[in-house]
């Protein structure tokens, strides 16, 4: 993964893709993702030890 891009959609479209593969689609699932769901889906493809995941954690 090189970067992240946020694009505006129309009619309530909410889709998350990684390297051309859809990780989450509101249209397909009929709902918005639950807290942490998108990160878990991405982590399953990128691996748990990558910096992108650690940088999301808040200090204890």
24 in Cβ contact with 16 (< 8 Å): yes
Q: Where are the domains of the chain?
A: 1-60
- Take residue 38 and report the two structure tokens written for it: 């998108």
Whole-model pTM over 0.75: no
In this structure, what DSSP letter does residue 34 have? P
Contacts of 52 (CB under 8 A, 6+ apart): 1, 42, 46
pLDDT greater than 90 at residue 48: no
Please state, for a pLDDT cut of 70, what percent of the chain lies above it.
70
In whole angstroms, what is the distance from residue 23 CA to residue 38 CA?
A: 7
Class at the top of the CATH hierarchy for domain 1-60: alpha beta
* Mean pLDDT value of segment 5-24: 82
């Amino acid at each position: 993964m090189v970067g992240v891009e946020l694009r505006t959609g129309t009619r309530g479209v909410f889709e998350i893709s990684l390297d051309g593969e859809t990780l989450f689609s509101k249209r397909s699932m009929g709902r918005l993702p639950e807290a942490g769901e998108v990160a878990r889906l991405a982590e399953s493809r990128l691996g748990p030890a990558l910096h992108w995941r650690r940088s999301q954690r808040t200090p204890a």
